[in-house]
Amino acid sequence: MVPLRDDNPVTTTPVVVYALISLNVVIFLYELSLGDEALQQFVNTWAVVPAELSCSLPGDVLRSVANLSCPVGVGDMPPQGEWITLVSSQFLHGGLPHLAGNMLFLWIFGNNIEDQLGSLKFLFFYLACGALAGLSQWVIEPASLVPTLGASGAIAGVMGAYIIRFPRAKIMTFVALFVIPVPAYLFLGWWFIQQSFYSYMSIGANADMGAGGVAYWAHAGGFVFGVVLGPLLGLFSQRDGYRGR
């Protein structure tokens, strides 16, 4: 199922959503300009490498639990510290389909959440969900050397907020050569069930981030944190909810 649009109009211009999409596109174009070696170095530096994040923690408890031998010689630690990658990784993508899919979901669901929270709160909400999503994946694979990158964890948080604020909104969805309206609670609920199932199946799998290199725990975690953080930031403070077209 591919979402095309929703029928949930907004009352304000989603400037943060537009800015986030633009920034993601610009950074992706920069990635395309790099050679293979420089691109790998760029990704290793600014994406979340769970083992490097683990090694940046004080103390040796987690390192011994994860069977780590620090320091890990993958990439260079960003000058601001390894924890900044929980934010910077949200603006990196592994290919055009990865970028296009994420930006489509952000464009469809992000404008309504920004409309409800306001631009500044929405920006904080988005980045916080993305960082917490990254931590969700890190908790499962603290010794992984595979970089985790992409906006999907933050966007999953947006989707989590959307399903509780606009459960009856209709999502125009491309399904088997047809475009049909699907209620948000069904579309997003099914998406979350899939991510949760794949997350469970990836436990103990002999591959980092589950099948196909997808960070399912980041998706599921971001969604849950979106459900929690949205109301705390005033998601329901405005009376006008789903209006439809």
pLDDT digits (tens, 9 = 90+) for 182-201: 999 999 999 999 999 887 77
The pTM (predicted TM-score) of the whole model is: 0.89
The structural domains of the chain, with segments of one domain joined by +, span 2-232
SS3 179: strand
Q: Which superfamily is assigned to 2-232 in CATH?
A: Rhomboid-like (1.20.1540.10)
Sheet containing 178-183, strands listed edge to edge, beginning at the edge strand earlier in sequence:
2-6, 170-175, 178-183
Cα→Cα distances 54→6, 68, 85, 211, Å: 40, 8, 12, 23
Beta strands, E only, the chain: 2-6, 170-175, 178-183
Query: Which range has highest mean pLDDT (56-65, 214-223, 225-234)?
Result: 225-234
Looking at residues 15-32, what average pLDDT do you find?
97
Q: Hey, which residues are catalytic here?
A: 152, 219
Per the listing, tokens 């040796």 go with 60
pLDDT for position 63:
55
Answer whether 215's CB lies under 8 Å from 209's CB: yes
Task: Point out which residues pair with 183 in neighbouring strands.
Answer: 170
Answer whether 171's CB lies under 8 Å from 184's CB: yes
Answer whether 159's CB lies under 8 Å from 225's CB: no
Question: Which has the higher per-residue pLDDT, 238 or 168?
Answer: 168
Per the listing, tokens 């604020």 go with 165
- pLDDT bin (cut points 50, 70, 90) of residue 54 is confident
Question: Which has the higher per-residue pLDDT, 63 or 3?
Answer: 3
- CB burial class (10 A; 0-12, 13-18, 19+) of residue 178? exposed
Mean pLDDT of the chain: 87
